[in-house]
Amino acid sequence: MKPLRSRFAKDTDSKVQNYTESISFDARLYRQDIAGSIAHARMLANRRIIAWDEAEKIVSGLEAIRGEIERGEFAFDPALEDIHMNIETRLFEKIGEAAGKLHTARSRNDQVATDIRLFAKEAILEATVLLKGLQSTLLGLAEAHKKVIVPGYTHTQRAQPVLLAHHLLAYFEMAGRDIERFNDAFKRTDVLPLGSGALAGVPYPIDRNMVARDLGFAQVSTNSMDAVSDRDFIIEYEAAAAIAMMHLSRLAEELVLWSTPEFGFVEIDDAYATSSSIMPQKKNPDVAELARGKTGRVYGHLMSILTTMKGLPLAYNRDLQEDKEGFFDTVDTLNSTLEVFTGMLKTLKFNAERARQCARENYTLATDVALPGGTRDRREARSPCHQQRQELARAGN
């Protein structure tokens, strides 16, 4: 099927075609696009806008196309621009004119907004699962090393002795806030825009609540112009991901420092490190360093979508095609970082004696020694690290 060109005297220039296509990256939305189309077709039939036999042909054809894509048999065509037109064109080839009924009562504008929301909901759930896995690993490390003492730092200077478990559980708390941010963003992502049309709704008696139920959305959008042009949910995901990556980067920085001979608190497993190309004696903490570096990449995607959105008038503008590549890359970067980071943490080996020795040096108990007794002593008795500091004080500083 060729797009209508009634007011155009020329075909699109090939350079323009290459510049404007999005199938090279939005092909990964095929599952969401097909799911949305199936729900839409069934609703049209239920509302008697199209016949049930037509809807059945459409659904059967879409399911067959999904199978072709998953088996690697589908030929994506950049000339058809995006995932929507690629699937719709193939549907025409498979079932004929009935395919034309699928686009009744919708636009590519509300179609793509639906696809990307479905994808974002899945991405949020994946992030929370991975963050909970990170928390579980941190809890396991804390439990396994609950008697290990390390120097705590301020200004990168040894300050007071603390439990290694207490130190690790600081990152548990950070991950908990990350989960809360993603969960909160999910509520605003869980809104169906389909039925908004291009911007002003559609002149058909559609049932948006039926589509919302079929696709698992909690509610439908209330303003059609906002629905097709809103990308706040992507910005919220990017922001939550940026903060989560910042937390991982802080932990990565400590692992990089702690694994040096100068610190010697931890050894990173060989499976999560590399050697030098010229200095074979070295073990480089590449996973931690890459996590630190990829954080800036995620920050960049957040600034990119904010900049894309800042000057857009209502409603849809082609600028919004730029919402996907950075978003997809952020999802992939966050998920892969969480997966590999969790694996690395599970295999860490801590040098308890070295950490304890450093905790005893540099007058780290000066605060405890300088102000013994009194109200402060009673307050400190409630501290998780108080008994360990007392033990060190008795041993001498």
Active-site annotation, residues: 155, 276
Q: Which residues pair with 154 in a beta bridge?
A: 157
Number of H helices, E strands in the chain: 16, 6
- Do residues 316 and 229 lie in contact, with contact meaning Cβ atoms separated by under 8 Å? yes
Q: Give residues with Cβ within 8 angstroms of 90, minimum separation 6.
A: 65, 68, 74
Using DSSP, state whether 152 is helix, strand or coil: strand
Burial class (CB in 10 A: 0-12, 13-18, 19+), 53: exposed
Tokens 């503008």, residue located: 317
Tokens 């630190």, residue located: 292
**Can you tell me the distance from the alpha carbon of 118 to that of 333, in angstroms, rounded to the nearest whole number?**
19
Q: Give residues with Cβ within 8 angstroms of 247, minimum separation 6.
A: 171, 174, 175, 178
87-to-76, 111, 119, 145 alpha-carbon distances in Å: 9, 13, 17, 54
**Can you tell me the distance from the alpha carbon of 35 to that of 252, in angstroms, rounded to the nearest whole number?**
39
